Structure 1
Amino acid sequence: MITTAVLVFLAFFLVLLLVLLAVSTYSDLVHRRGEVDDAWVWIEVRLKHRHDLVAELVEVVRGHGARDRQALEAVAAARSRAAGAQAPADRMAAEDLLSGALRSLFAATGAHPDLKAGRTLAELREKLAAAEDRITRSRRHYNDAVLIYNNAIQMSPADIVAGMGGFSQREYLRDQDEERRPVRAWF
């Protein structure tokens, strides 16, 4: 026959086990949420670098007396809008608009032989291409981290801890520009 002391010990052990499971699950969810946040920070770093390159590009094109003021203004407006967007999905949508404005600017620079042949513009084009590649890789990394995190908060028993801990799903970064081409192809 099982004594009262054994039953109390088993109940205490079971409660302790459940608490340890909940604490471990909570810690794992915090870690996964941190990975998503870290992946977003890297996207922001890469986007800032891209914005710096875009500012250089605008100055180079302006310095050569480019006649297409409308393309320059569109790039400046898109860059400003992208910098002001806060939510990841809004930010990436604005960045996709910036990519479209850059394509228009590069098309406009094609009409200026001295600008098109310029070494500075070619170097900026290569730097922008590399920056776009890094942004694309960072976007993929972010979406992978979101997938792992979203799956983790939906699986049992983590879904119980996630609900009590205030963990909510994160959105994937969708590519709004379905015809995204490498920067090298923008000329």
Structure 2
Amino acid sequence: MKKSWIWPVVIVGVIIIWFVASYNGFVNKEEDVDQSYSQIETQLQRRVDLVPNLVNTVKGYASHEKKVIKDISDARARLAGAQSTQEKAQANDQLTGALSRLLVIQERYPNLKADKQFTQLMDELAGTENRIAVARRDYNQEVASYNKKVKRFPGALIAGIGGFDKKEYFKANVNAKEPPKVDFGGNG
């Protein structure tokens, strides 16, 4: 008696194993992207938590710089409330611009620059900025790897069947490439 049924069973078994392995590869890649994104969120939260202390320190020295302080507080609130990757990237850019205006203000107040708490907060903020840049780079690398897998054949078939969609990069706003405009007219 011939066992002609063995080859079709082997072929179907190989296809099932390949599908499961490919699907699990997508799950792993998606988890890598999510884990990388959580690192960005952690650093953004650290930044949001540092800002009130920084603003309070500046208020003591530069109370008439209300616009800059309000801009920082508003940008912080936008970042804290942002939901999507794009919203977080835009809110992050707004906070970066507001904080850079604060750095210009510190030049006008020598006592502020000499304040130990302000200096410590600025150092912590600078460290956080570096961590955000690293986390953002790592996230975008994970997204690139994942998106390539989603787009390439035969992965595109598994991605379509498994519901794996392309992920968004954490991009800087086009306007963030320009330095912030600072008004030295004293209308703060």
TM-score, normalised on structure 2?
Answer: 0.89
Q: Deviations over 1:86-141 (max 9, x none)?
A: 01111011101100001112212322221122122111111111100000000000
Greater CA drift, 131-140 or 110-119: 110-119
* Aligned mates of 1:100, 1:50 — CA distance in 2: 14
Q: Deviations over 1:35-63 (max 9, x none)?
A: 00000101000111111111110111123
What does residue 127 of structure 1 align with? 124
What does residue 178 of structure 1 align with? 177
* Aligned mates of 1:65, 1:156 — CA distance in 2: 59
Cα distance, 1:160 vs structure 2: 0.7
**Which residue, out of 73, 77, 101, partners 2:74?**
77
**1:94 to 2:67 alignment:** no
Q: Note if contact 2:61-2:109 (Cα within 8 Å) is conserved in structure 1.
A: no
Structure 1 residues not aligned, in runs of 5+: 182-187
* Aligned mates of 1:36, 1:23 — CA distance in 2: 20
What does residue 113 of structure 1 align with? 110
What does residue 3 of structure 2 align with? 5
Q: Which runs of 4+ in 1 moved over 3 A?
A: none
Identity %: 32
**Which residue, out of 21, 27, 32, partners 1:30?**
27
Structure 2 residues not aligned, in runs of 5+: 181-188
What does residue 151 of structure 1 align with? 148
Letter of the structure 2 residue corresponding to residue 172 of structure 1? Y
* Aligned mates of 2:70, 2:24 — CA distance in 1: 48
**1:167 to 2:164 alignment:** yes
The alignment yields a C-alpha RMSD, in angstroms, of 1.6
* Aligned mates of 1:5, 1:158 — CA distance in 2: 33
Q: Note if contact 1:66-1:112 (Cα within 8 Å) is conserved in structure 2.
A: no
**1:63 to 2:56 alignment:** no
**1:50 to 2:52 alignment:** no
* Aligned mates of 1:12, 1:79 — CA distance in 2: 60
Corresponding pairs, count = 178
* Aligned mates of 1:26, 1:180 — CA distance in 2: 45
Q: SS of the counterpart of 1:110?
A: helix
* Aligned mates of 1:94, 1:59 — CA distance in 2: 21
TM-score, normalised on structure 1?
Answer: 0.90
